[in-house]
Structure 1
């Protein structure tokens, strides 16, 4: 339910930002640096086996079409296209082993020794980035993960065995990290009589505070949760 609602929100273009959307393809290509720089030099005709040529073309289509489609979805994020790294790695491995890498100005002959040095250089760069760059980045970003911080605030209030009701929440990535079971409702009036915890957006604060939905109880504001978009979600608990 969490995944379906969040993905639906992305398809509907909720929280759409044109500048970020235009950067999807360049940012998606960065995930496969430096190897993506070699793809323009792969020549399908250099595969001697016809079956390999067909496989290489199939992999190319299997990379290009999903990559473009996923990154053109309104509200999509570059990481959604990361699964194409698998066929991209396969195709590039075939090109290196073929060998099917060739400079545009080469006519009939290949400089295999130069390509071997380039591939070795890229392997070295990949090892350095993977061994040093990623751990350093993880440490730097640890305290900047606003989504997980917001989820931690919710988890500190809502027990994991209590249902958390989200009232017309739109797209909220924080829900991926909430431990309590989630239920979605369209309005405060749709909250069940036994609801104990619920979330609303700021425009529904007055309604949530003053609702007479519960005869012998009322909603108490427990937390104001701010996510990476600087938007607030209000967490209420129903009690005496």
Structure 2
């Protein structure tokens, strides 16, 4: 899971906030959440989950530290998103502010399977599957084609991380709303542990990856034949007219 840190309320009001949040209990669970959209909605929802929520029909207070399954974790976060939207959406909409928000929730709880969910502001969610082996939120259109073409369910972890970073590199080149530093977590199945890393703009590997990707694209399109229906390029030699 990779998340950038840039937020903006216009081109003259850009700041950085952490959008990747991790709950880890050694040997028991590791749950990671990435957020996108309205910052007040996502931060309030995460604060509610951290304090604990009584789900409808239940008396126990639940948090990400004690939910029994990843599915239940998605339900918990979805419920928080739904409640926040109900409570603060009217006041935000009155000021013509966007209340759209979404989250990615992924990880594993001991005894259960590794899972990844996309949670919408309305509280509903979908699960990642082998048909589409990744999920995205936020500004996705520039980096999505790379993942669509190259990412497969059996892609090795190292290749998947590389593709994720290339996807981010393509996005930041075309969209000012996305920028470094990036926060990344890599979770191996059944490890119940996440390897976290912050990638700054001057990260040597990230910079080299972006340079190599640009060069590879340039070389690829030069190697392709021109459209056969176009006229061949005119002779570059000048025409000479002589008058006597």
TM range (shorter): under 0.3
TM-score by length of 2: 0.25
Instruction: Specify which structure has the higher proportion of helix.
Output: 1
Of structures 1 and 2, the one with the larger relative CO (CA 8 A, separation 6+) is 2
Instruction: Specify which structure has the higher proportion of strand.
Output: 2
